Amino acid sequence: DIFKTNVKEGGEGPSETRRSTPDINQGEKESASSSADTDNESSSKQSNLSNVEEVSKRTGKRKAAAADEEQPQAKRRKDLPTKKNLINAQRAEFEAKYKQQNQLGKGGYGCVFAGYRKADNLPVAIKHITKQKGQNGKQLPSEVAVMLKLQAGKTGLSGESAAVSLLDWYDLDQELILVLERPVPCMDLLRYVRGNGGALHEEKAKIILKQLIDAAVQLEDNCIFHRDIKMENILIETSSDVPRVRLIDFGLSCSFEKQSVYRAFGGTLQHAPPEWHFCHSYRPGSTTVWQIGVALFELLHRKGRFDTTRFLRRELTISNELSKNCQDFLQKSLNPCDMMRPTLKELQLHPWLS
């Protein structure tokens, strides 16, 4: 932002000088006045002249004082930081603190790069987001606001399933830079499944689903709607025998209220819940349950990517080779009627996850 200072002109204008007006009538009456009167008149004139000079001096001093006041104010105005200087300072701070490396991904929003924090070599993900036209520069970006809100609601328990943390962010006018936690080693769930033959066994899928639902409940408890939970936005930490789930990409996320209904779709259209196709509206809780069902379907089936319209036309079906409890979990979470789907907390208690 540019800070503006209105410099007011200081000082007062010159004061009026009161001069003595000669009394003509009095002069005629006293034409025979003595020399003493003449001396008094000269003295009076001299006094008037001195008054004019004194007032002139005072006026000059006030003008000089006004000029002295304007000069430091003008100097301060020149010293104020410009918008360009502020942006350059933010960029310099980012470059001094972090080292950017190879590109990890690219999308409509911008790019994500690997990197590290110079002070301690902490691995980070550096996300460059191109701002949309008309975006209010003074308003806290929604992705930043959501992640800060989520971090404020964390319990701080070690091993907790949750979103990756926002470490820093920089607003560079036309671009936003987010510096995020980058678990190492890790990969997104899509790559993880493909590396395991294109589908997971139920027991391994169950470990991931439990954590995913816990993370979704944490978001819901903080009134945050992710809107785009899918394989590419689920990271799997592979540093131990038990994979750990982390949620990423809150670019479409938002805060919600209990009765919130959305009529503009945000997310992956192929995974849009049936109610969007039927009546162009959807709710946070039931949509998130649908997206979790989609993720589980893709974990367990080698039928390619899920598509809601194909599923509704029965071109994609739940495998009868899965356990009864697993089939029941999928049928409930992928119920075409949003009112018939269980809540996230009801899903936590499903027999398949026990």
Instruction: Give the Cα separation of 336 and 311 in Å (integer).
Output: 10
Judge whether 177 and 94 are in contact, CB under 8 Å.
Answer: yes
Intra-chain end-to-end CA distance of the chain, in Å: 54
Q: At what angle do helices 202-221 and 284-300 cross, to 10 degrees?
A: 160
Judge whether 312 and 277 are in contact, CB under 8 Å.
Answer: yes
Instruction: Give the Cα separation of 10 and 348 in Å (integer).
Output: 71
| Phi, psi values for residue 197, rounded to 5° | 90, 10
| Active-site residue (options: 171, 188, 228, 249) | 228
Q: Which residue has tokens 């001396």?
A: 39
228 has catalytic annotation: yes
Distant-in-sequence, close-in-space partners of 28: CB < 8 Å, separation ≥ 6: none
Using CA atoms of 119, 121, 122, 124 in order, give the dihedral in degrees to the nearest 10.
100
Q: Tokens standing for 299?
A: 């974990």
| DSSP H stretches of helix in the chain | 24-29, 35-79, 83-97, 142-152, 189-194, 202-221, 274-279, 284-300, 308-312, 324-333, 344-348
Judge whether 318 and 327 are in contact, CB under 8 Å.
Answer: yes
Q: Tokens standing for 29?
A: 């009456």
Q: Mind giving me the DSSP string for 259-272?
A: T--B-S--S-GGG-
Instruction: Give the Cα separation of 74 and 118 in Å (integer).
Output: 40
Instruction: Give the Cα separation of 159 and 50 in Å (integer).
Output: 90
Instruction: Give the Cα separation of 131 and 110 in Å (integer).
Output: 9
Instruction: Write out the catalytic residue numbers.
Output: 228
